[in-house]
Amino acid sequence: MMWISTTTPVDIRNRLVRLARVLAASVTLLSVVSVEAADKVAPKPQWSTRDMPSQKGRIILITGGTSGMGYEDALALSRAGAEVIIAARNPERGAQAIARIRQAVPDARVQFETLDLADLSSVRGLAERLNQRLPRLDVLINNAAIMAPPERGTSADGFELQLATNYLGHFALTGLLVPLLRQSQDPRVVSLSSIAAARGAMNFDDLQAERQYEPYAAYAQSKLAVLHWAFALQRRSEAAGWGIRSLAAHPGVAVTELVERGPGLNSEFGQRWAQDRDAYHSAAQGALSTLYAATAPEAAGGAYYGPIGDEEKRGPLGFARTPAAATHEADAERLWTVSERLTGVTYR
């Protein structure tokens, strides 16, 4: 049986046009990837605090700096000569953290400010105090977080507690401090996400988990929100010429008080955590990605840093994998609009 082609010259031409368009798009995509890679220098895998440049003369604010990775940030940055402000809820724990830092670094310039990220009036109060007395702010490290409380809690403003503490409070604080940041010659905002963000989804139909609360889903959503916001802030900074580098980081899995204060050590999650904790790294190791983003001259705005070994739970420092959901700019813009409405804060 003879096969007779019914393809016309017009069909062939149309196919060639479509093929040319696909190839052109592929070349463009490869160009974008190449340029982006060329613009961002990967961290030295074994980067440590010994590689950190002097921070003398720099003013750095760290939320949640009384324990865990926030404390390690404050200690390392004090050693490097920075003026460090620890902002957290408990003044007593703040005093203890400062005493420990000064014992290790006698000439440390470190102070405490009260801040409850789950209370927007407290966020505004801190921003007002800092705007009144500081000449500038060089680095803001949005570190404080809570994880997976078993029961749904609400903030002073009526928001789901994890979203309020991990994301909305930081969104508001950063926006209120943009004027101070813009006074710096090298302003940076470093926001802490989590490998849990890869399991997150922005549930705009039930953002506050009012209809259904699942502790770990709410935590993952809050950390995905942090990533969306960090990338969106970098885009806005570039568009408006603010000069602010917005960077994201995650610590992998570090031994801190997060589990103890969240699901609890007696929970199923807490028991698994206790069994496996020898496989995790220390809070000091977990802090390295944040410290790199905050201090390394080559750290790039819009980048996401973290450990890159063992499913990113620990290991050498590098570019963290960005969850596919965090690349959806439409979601990021929608979240930004919602966040402005909920917090009443507009970035200027």
Active site residues: 219
**Which residues are registered as beta bridge partners of 60?**
84, 139
How far apart are the C-alpha atoms of 222 and 62, rounded to whole Å? 19
**Which residues are registered as beta bridge partners of 84?**
60, 110
**Tokens, residue 75:** 């200690």
How far apart are the C-alpha atoms of 233 and 340, rounded to whole Å? 13
